């Protein structure tokens, strides 16, 4: 077994080793561990801040996307409304132009009819006078001529269904 001197030497050597290990190894290791803990805490804080910022940006982008969709729907609806207004305006304008053309055509037709009837009256009157002159052999006076023309035209109008 070991003697008292050996035991004291071992105890003294153990204490010296503890002091040396504490001074040269323990303090640097605890300092490194503290620095590492500080770095890990800083990284966690940075990661938390980055995550919060990312969530904020995501919420902002989603809100902007929602607004963009709403704006797009609004633009499409406005374009549809404007297109419908233009279509209706063009339809109204075209309808007005067609009505005006019909009215003008009716007026032209009525005028042409009146001109044709007047021309026919004149032709009939001249022919009637010429026929009457040849048949009767004399000139008719103005009143007789007018009565003859009116009777003849009335007969033509009845035959054509015109009053």
Asked whether residue 5 is assigned to any structural domain, the reply reads no
Domain that holds residue 92: 42-160
Average pLDDT over residues 129-156: 69
Residue 145 forms part of a structural domain = yes
Looking at residue 2, what DSSP letter applies? -
Q: Is the pLDDT of residue 138 over 60?
A: no
- Quote the pLDDT of residue 137: 52
Kindly report the average pLDDT of the chain as a whole number. 84
Residue 40: pLDDT band by 50, 70, 90 thresholds? very high
| pLDDT one-digit tens code per residue, 88-132 | 999 999 999 999 999 988 988 988 888 888 887 777 777 776 676
What average pLDDT does range 141-148 have in this prediction? Answer: 73
State the average pLDDT over residues 122-151.
70
Task: Please count the structural domains in the chain.
Answer: 1
- The full DSSP string for 82-146 is HHHHHHHHHHHHHHHHHHHHHHHHHHHHHHHHHHHHHHHHHHHHHHHHHHHHHHH-SPPPHHHHH
Residue 150, domain member (yes or no):
yes
Assess if residue 9 is contained within a domain: no
Q: What is the pLDDT of residue 136?
A: 65
Structure tokens at 130: 């010429």
Let me know if residue 27 belongs to a domain. no
Does a structural domain hold residue 14? Answer: no
Question: Which one is predicted more confidently, 158 or 38?
Answer: 38
| 10 is a domain residue | no
Quick check: pTM over 0.95? no
Looking at the domain assignment, is residue 32 inside a domain? Answer: no
Burial class (CB in 10 A: 0-12, 13-18, 19+), 145: middle
Q: How far apart are CA 150 and CA 156, in angstroms?
A: 10
């Amino acid at each position: 077994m070991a003697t008292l001197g050996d035991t004291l030497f071992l105890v003294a050597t153990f204490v010296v080793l503890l002091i040396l290990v504490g001074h040269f190894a323990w303090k640097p290791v605890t300092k490194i561990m503290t620095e590492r803990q500080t770095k890990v805490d800083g990284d966690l804080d940075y990661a938390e801040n980055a995550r919060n910022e990312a969530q904020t940006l995501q919420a902002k982008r989603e809100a902007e996307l929602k607004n963009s969709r709403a704006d797009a729907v609004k633009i499409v609806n406005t374009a549809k409304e404007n297109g419908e207004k233009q279509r209706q305006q063009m339809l109204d304008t075209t309808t007005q132009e067609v009505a005006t053309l019909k009215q003008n055509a009716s007026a032209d037709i009525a005028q042409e009819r009146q001109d044709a009837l007047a021309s026919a009256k004149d032709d009939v009157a001249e022919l009637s006078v010429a026929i009457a002159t040849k048949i009767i052999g004399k000139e008719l006076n103005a009143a007789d001529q007018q009565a003859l023309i009116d009777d003849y035209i009335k007969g033509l109008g009845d035959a054509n269904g015109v009053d």
